[in-house]
Amino acid sequence: MSFQPIMLDVDTGVDDAAAIAYALGLEADLVAVSTVAGNIHIDLTTGNTLKVLSLLGAEDVPVFRGASRPLIKPFQDAAHIHGGNGLGGATIPDALADEADLTAPEAIIAMAEEFQGDLTFVAAGPLTNLAIALSLRPQIAQQIGKLVLMGGAFFNPGNVTPYAEFNIWADPDAAAQVFATEWNEVIAIGLDVTHQVAITTRMWEAIPEKFSGAAGLMRKIAARTFTERVRSGFFLHDPLAVAVALDESLVTLEPYAVEVVTDGEERGRTIVRDGGNVLIATEVKAEVFLRRFCDALGMPYVQDDAGLDGAE
């Protein structure tokens, strides 16, 4: 299977690490990764990204450090979910490569220019880097072939407040700018679908402790979710965004316009109305995706109909 060149923007983060592993497992044409503050501080998101790529034999993929804080709002992390080191407390070997010289916004501009209409950009964290790049070079909206973003709670409740999903809430001003831009194609993967795809306790327990590589990484980074935090599932938010970037048939997409609430009690809320250019995922082929995810990471797939009410 051949893919278009893909660039990931991540705040690594346990599910970002899983998303990187998934892209590499599918042998996607991963041309670059940029980092942003979100789940954890920019130093950790950048360091974790370098470590994950090295662990999976992809240390040659360039990593570009991005924004250390949102455009306007104070920085607030999600370490209570991702652990103090962002990887659920998992220890993995040091990186085999250093970060690249360009900043993330500069790299986004450079990659958009280099691949001229062929680049797929997957934003798996707050949209700060992309908003800065847009401000510097608005034409990237025409140069990027497809934008897929993990963010929003369009028809379902949020996960950081009753109204908002974390990535949008973390930098609502950047999100408002990105949603207001006319892209060639923009797909939003929100909690409406990501809350239907998760590694369950039984699936996690089926990964042998001796496994290394991507499956071993998954066992390590998800352990805190199932043991210390005693959750029923580990949501695959960012891996689903990568999956849809590579195969849109996994989801049902409906066009809407999206407005982002930037302040107040409903900060980060994504309000939709008919007739816009944002393709929002409203349904997902959950089992198909989960089987692909497990196969790509080399981990056993276990049919598990357990409820995900306690997942996170």
Closest among 272, 304, 280 to 291, alpha carbons compared = 304
Q: What is the CA radius of gyration of the chain?
A: 18
Please indicate, yes or no, if residue 112 is contained in any of the structural domains.
yes
The Cα 8–Cα 149 span in angstroms is 10
> Which segment of 221-225, 226-230, 259-263 scores lowest on mean pLDDT?
226-230
Q: What is the pLDDT of residues 63-77, one digit of tens each?
A: 999 999 999 999 998
Please compute the mean of the pLDDT values over residues 240-266 and round it to a whole number.
98
Please indicate, yes or no, if residue 175 is contained in any of the structural domains.
yes
Residue 305 has pLDDT above 80, yes or no: no
- Return the pLDDT at 86: 87
Please indicate, yes or no, if residue 287 is contained in any of the structural domains.
yes
Residue 282 has pLDDT above 60, yes or no: yes
What's 215's domain CATH number? Answer: 3.90.245.10
Please indicate, yes or no, if residue 309 is contained in any of the structural domains.
no
Quick one: pLDDT band at residue 229, thresholds 50, 70, 90?
confident
> Which segment of 210-214, 262-266, 305-309 scores lowest on mean pLDDT?
305-309
Q: What is the pLDDT of residues 4-28, one digit of tens each?
A: 999 999 999 899 999 999 999 999 9
Residue 33 has pLDDT above 80, yes or no: yes
Which one-letter amino acid corresponds to residue 289? F
> Which segment of 46-60, 153-167, 214-228, 249-263 scores lowest on mean pLDDT?
214-228
Say how many domains are in the chain. 1
Please indicate, yes or no, if residue 310 is contained in any of the structural domains.
no
Say which of 9, 11, 15, 192 is annotated catalytic: 11
- Return the pLDDT at 5: 97
Please indicate, yes or no, if residue 303 is contained in any of the structural domains.
no
- Return the pLDDT at 183: 98
Say which of 15, 16, 77, 237 is annotated catalytic: 237
> Which tops the pLDDT comparison, 113 or 209?
113
Instruction: Give all strands of the β-sheet with 251-260 in edge-to-edge order.
Output: 63-64, 30-35, 6-10, 119-123, 144-150, 186-189, 278-284, 251-260, 270-274
Please indicate, yes or no, if residue 308 is contained in any of the structural domains.
no
Q: Are 176 and 262 in contact (CB under 8 A)?
A: yes
Annotation marks residue 43 as catalytic? no
Residue 312 has pLDDT above 80, yes or no: no
- Return the pLDDT at 77: 85
Quick one: pLDDT band at residue 124, thresholds 50, 70, 90?
very high
Annotation marks residue 11 as catalytic? yes
Boundaries of domain holding 73: 6-297
Please indicate, yes or no, if residue 200 is contained in any of the structural domains.
yes
